[in-house]
Amino acid sequence: MSLVLINFYRFVALSDCDRWQQRLQDRCAALGLRGTILLAPEGINASLVGDAEAIGQFLEELQQHPSFANLNLKTAVVTDWPFARLKVKVKPEIVTLGHPELNPAERTGTLVAPQDWNQLLEDPEIVLIDVRNHFEIALGSFPQAVDPQTDRFRDFPTFVQEQLLPQQPAKVAMFCTGGIRCEKASAYLLEQGIETVYQLEGGILNYLEAIAPEDNRWQGDCFVFDERIAVDRQLQTPQHHLCEVCGQPVVAATCSHCQDAAQADSSPR
């Protein structure tokens, strides 16, 4: 079966999230779509899958509304359902940093196109930060990128306060999977007084799609939040699984640490 997977977001003021929740729930269900839509006063964030006609119809209808006319949208063709069901939720934030007062719709870092990203990284004053969580970074990243060692995105401000700000960086460049976390993180850095902040436009996935293999500086695989688990430099799906014990991506059923722990727990006492 050939299905279309879409990921999209937009930071935009939404004052009627509850009404949109019911409306989107009903329409997606009628079209047979699966996935997750998050709504918050700051905007919309969604990952949905369905047949091409249904996805196309949904996007056409959604983007007729001014609030959703300029979505940050990515599409991919998949052969199986990466989501088991449909969920439409209202949250305080569409990506949880723990700072709902930020307004990325008004002020974020400077977008850098994938074609200009490699050149930017040649700047010796740049501090390059991978905004993703540590378990994602373990699969792959750009060389020399700082790993903030976060378990969840809302830990990022602690990294900024305790490690980044004391360095007084002149310039910061950041990247994430699809761009949404960088929108929020760059808004936070600007609020904290870092004047020059860059972010990779469209995130890692956009870079992998746009840059030829011989110029591609990405190393390893890129974790994605669906049943594909990860994609490689060619956006193909490598053989990764989620550890049955801790839920982190591995190439076997469990990671070596959890496997050892499980064996110890099952040993005779």
Domain boundaries along the sequence of the chain: 3-90, 110-238
pTM over 0.75: yes
Q: For position 227, what pLDDT does the model report? A: 64
- Give the architecture-level CATH label for domain 3-90: 2-Layer Sandwich (3.30)
Long-range contacts (CB closer than 8 Å, 24 or more residues apart) made by 74-77: 74/6, 74/7, 74/8, 74/178, 74/202, 74/205, 74/206, 75/4, 75/5, 75/6, 76/4, 76/5, 76/235, 77/2, 77/3, 77/4, 77/5
Residue ranges of the alpha helices (H) in the chain?
17-31, 52-62, 114-120, 134-137, 156-159, 180-191, 203-210, 256-266
Q: What is the pLDDT of residues 43-94, one digit of tens each?
A: 999 999 999 999 999 999 999 999 999 999 999 898 889 899 999 999 999 9
Nearest alpha-carbon partner for 46 in 194, 228, 225: 225
What proportion of the chain, given as a percentage, has pLDDT over 90? 79
Residues (pLDDT < 70) of the chain are 1, 225-227, 234-269
Catalytic residue among 17, 28, 176, 243: 176
CB 31 within 8 A of CB 53: no
Q: Which CATH class is domain 110-238?
A: alpha beta
- Tell me the pLDDT of the chain averaged across its residues: 89
> Is residue 182 annotated as part of the catalytic site, yes or no?
no
